[in-house]
Amino acid sequence: MTKQKKDRLQGTLELLILSVLSSGPSHGYSIARRIEIISKDALSVQQGSLYPALQRLLKKGWVMARWGVTDTNRKARIYELTKAGKEQINEEVSAWKLFSMGVGAVVKTAKLS
């Protein structure tokens, strides 16, 4: 497997986070919950995976964070896409579509009993 293909598999969580944040700023719990709701509970993101992914996105400069208050009046770190993040999501979605079409084509050939 090429490094790019391996990175695509491992980068799925980052793509999901970027996708959620493309709708607007959000705090960590809300990001995880929106992924669950949008996927109809097919996907579940644990804190142990979410926050390291958010840190990677911050380090890449695709996301910025600030302290704010949630809808329930709790202090939380609010994440939002940067200009670079908005550009990156377009690249990520295009790459994901190509990747998922390839996976779909192979899976379609599976002989099920």
- In this prediction, residues 68-88 reach a mean pLDDT of 94
Residue 103 maps to a domain: no
Q: What is the CATH number of the domain that holds 33?
A: 1.10.10.10
pLDDT in tens, 39-54: 998 888 888 899 999 9
Residue 1 maps to a domain: no
Q: What pLDDT does 113 receive? A: 77
Residue 18 maps to a domain: yes
Mind giving me the DSSP string for 6-69? Answer: HHHHHTHHHHHHHHHHTT--EEHHHHHHHHHHHTTTS----HHHHHHHHHHHHHHTSEEEEEEE
Domain range for 35? 7-93
Residue 108 maps to a domain: no
pLDDT in tens, 4-59: 544 444 568 999 999 999 999 999 999 999 999 999 988 888 888 999 999 999 99
pTM to 2 decimals?
A: 0.83
Specify the 3-state DSSP secondary structure of 75: strand
Q: Is pLDDT at 73 greater than 70 in this prediction?
A: yes
Residue 17 maps to a domain: yes
Count of structural domains within the chain: 1
Q: What pLDDT does 8 receive? A: 46
